[in-house]
Amino acid sequence: MSNVDVSNVRGHMISTLLVANRGEIACRVFRTCGELGIQTVAVHSDADENALHARVADATVRLPGAAPADTYLRGDLIVKAALASGADAVHPGYGFLSENADFACAVLDAGLTWIGPSPEAIEAMASKTRAKTLMGLPLLGEVTEDDLPLLVKAAAGGGGRGMRVVRHLKELSAALEAARAEALSAFGDGEVFVEPYIEHGRHIEVQILADTHGTVWALGTRDCSLQRRHQKVIEEAPAPGLSEELAEELRTLSVRAARAVDYVGAGTVEFLVADDRAHFLEMNTRLQVEHPVTEAVFGLDLVAEQIRIAEGHALPTDPPRARGHAIEARLYAEDPPRDWAPQTGTLHRLAVPRGVRLDTGYEDGDLIGVHYDPMLAKAVAHAPTREEALRKLAGALEKATIHGPTTNRDLLVRSLRHKEFTTARMDTGFYDRHLTDLTKPAPDPYAPLAAALADAHGRSRFGGWRNVPSQPQTKRYALAGEEIEVRYRHTRTGLEADGARVVHADARLVVLEVAGVRRNFEVARYGDEIHVNATHLTALARFPDPTAQHAPGSLLAPMPGTVVRVAEGLTAGAAVQAGEPLLWLEAMKMEHKITAPSTGTLSALNVVPGQQVTVGSLLAVVRET
């Protein structure tokens, strides 16, 4: 621990602040700094040299390399960057080193102001096992069949990494081994523990804000139950449907946790709620991704409050009153029905209608790379009631312009409108139950026609129209996993299409009238990728390339990433069963399991642990028996 007297550091007026992070949270902190008149410093990896957070900062410092372990997890390099740039304070954001007590010590030892709790508080709550002991809660001892199902969890870190659900005791040993390996890779700490897995609980948390003068605020509750891979997708404040008694119990327990470690700054205490009972999960000693919903409801800027607290200012005795309801949806570059596979490529356009807050680390034209989390943005709606906030956010996402790789936008809209969610009956198993229905393809049937007409715009002026009957023009598109062929004609009066009257067509806007109803279709094309309103299509060549073939049973990389491990003892010639895990890829902070497509023989294994692969790389071949 640091030998620096933190009280001597606090009280210093901050003039230049370095954010030891990247992307959306760095941009978020810089925005508040700009409003407070504080100069900003960004650190960036080589992969982030042209990232938005590096572009908007007043000064930047390079961290050589691309992997997090070489860059954003190098506390020594970040402290050097702060000193070299003249920064007098460091904000850790969330993730990376935000809950690393040694990093907080290094910042303080360098004479810099640390925007966060003391290293001692971070250390006390860093391990979930130690936190439970501190809270006076028992740990699960020897497990039996009666304890099933179980949840294996990493003692350090979060974000769903190092977690495995166990439904049969025979699976426990393998789950422990896999969780330890992932936890060691993600957090540098392989400690894991086991607790009962509550199937239908709600994930509820309380925002804490505490100053150096003994005041602790419990800023209401948040519901974060909608999760994929134990990572949150939709959050809201206040948590709906809680009894006042339970809400008060959660606030009381959270304040008790904060006081137990002399907490200072912003933090979050997390619970699993089932049968109107609260089960303590952990305390996150940092700002949460979902903090904007609390800001909206309480009319606060939590980053500004963090800075003021670090400068020694006191909070008022009582927090502001909560007003209305706020809901946040995390927009990810990922493909939910394909095991949430992260997507990469150029984000050509990102915009949401006015009235909805958008926190993002991207601008139009930015590249979504392979090295970091695939979250593009957070969209937040605030309204007097939950029903109004739901409608506002779902409508804004539906009308948002998102041109680029596949995203979870449609899933978010459908989730916000699902009856189980609108009636506040959701729990952490929501996507386990409903993912198939929520991701059924429902493309606009007229989108391919609109794309073809936009592409054909103006061709009649260069010989497209003929004075004699002719065959219709055809175009082919890939849409929702299917090939679609559309037909249209150039006529004396313009473009014609079966089933719809063409009211207007140019390269960017097509207006069709179907059964007396006119609809506008905005069209944008980037190479072979076409966006028609919210529908994404791919233009196909008129004649398919006969060389673009793979042998039956070929396993292709669904994303760019790193092969982190291969199943033990797996070699070419081995017999495999359908669904059997063969290898694991890591991409964008997530681990993805590659399984055998059928029962047969592994006729080829083309990769080894540590190997980098690109989308479509041939990983292995299974010859079906």
Topology, domain 554-624 = OB fold (Dihydrolipoamide Acetyltransferase, E2P) (2.40.50)
Report the C-alpha gap between 221 and 268 in whole angstroms: 10
63 neighbors 81 (Cβ within 8 angstroms)? yes
Catalytically active residues are: 286
Q: In what order do the strands lie in the sheet with 231-237?
A: 277-284, 265-274, 202-210, 216-228, 231-237, 325-332, 375-383, 357-360
Give tens-digit pLDDT for 227-274: 998 899 999 999 999 999 999 999 999 999 999 999 999 999 999 999
Q: What is the mean pLDDT of residues 441-446?
A: 92
CATH 3.30.750 assigned to domain 447-539? The reply is no
Higher local confidence (pLDDT), 100 or 177? 100
Return the percentage of the chain with pLDDT > 90, whole number: 66
Report the C-alpha gap between 617 and 621 in whole angstroms: 12
Whether cis (ω within 30° of 0) applies to the bond prior to 238 is yes
Q: In what order do the strands lie in the sheet with 554-556?
A: 554-556, 618-624, 600-605, 575-576
pLDDT at 157: 64
Topology, domain 6-115 = Rossmann fold (3.40.50)
Instruction: Provide the whole-model pTM.
Output: 0.84
Name every residue whose Cβ is closer than 8 Å to that of residue 288 and which is 6 or more positions away in sequence: 94, 205, 207, 268
pLDDT band at residue 549, thresholds of 50, 70 and 90? low
3-state per-residue secondary structure call for 139-199: CCCCCCHHHCCEEEEECCCCCCCCCEEECCHHHHHHHHHHHHHHHHHHHCCCCEEEEECCC
Task: Tell me which DSSP letter residue 138 carries.
Answer: P
pLDDT band at residue 5, thresholds of 50, 70 and 90? very low
360 neighbors 351 (Cβ within 8 angstroms)? no
Distance set, CA 150 to CA 161, 180, 198, 204, 274 (Å): 16, 16, 8, 20, 16
Q: Is the pLDDT of residue 544 over 60?
A: no
pLDDT at 168: 87
* Amino acid type, 551: A
Closest CA to 528 of 517, 515, 540, 516: 540
Q: Where do the domains of the chain lie?
A: 6-115, 126-196, 204-417, 447-539, 554-624
Give φ, ψ of 332 to 5 degrees.
-110, 145
pLDDT at 160: 66
Closest CA to 263 of 319, 207, 346: 207
Return the percentage of the chain with pLDDT > 70, whole number: 92
Topology, domain 204-417 = D-amino Acid Aminotransferase; Chain A, domain 1 (3.30.470)
Assign domain 126-196 to its CATH superfamily.
Answer: ATP-grasp fold, A domain (3.30.1490.20)
pLDDT at 10: 52
Report the C-alpha gap between 358 and 363 in whole angstroms: 12
Task: Among 160-169, 384-393, 565-574, name the most confident range.
Answer: 384-393
Report the C-alpha gap between 169 and 163 in whole angstroms: 16
Give tens-digit pLDDT for 47-103: 999 999 999 999 999 999 999 999 999 999 999 999 999 999 999 999 999 999 999
Copy the structure tokens of residue 50. 């042209």
Report the C-alpha gap between 16 and 40 in whole angstroms: 6
Closest CA to 226 of 432, 440, 439: 432
Q: Is the pLDDT of residue 129 over 90?
A: no
Q: What's the mean pLDDT when you consider all of the chain?
A: 89
510 neighbors 450 (Cβ within 8 angstroms)? yes
Q: What is the mean pLDDT of residues 491-495?
A: 77
- C-alpha angle 83-84-87 in degrees, rounded to nearest 5: 50
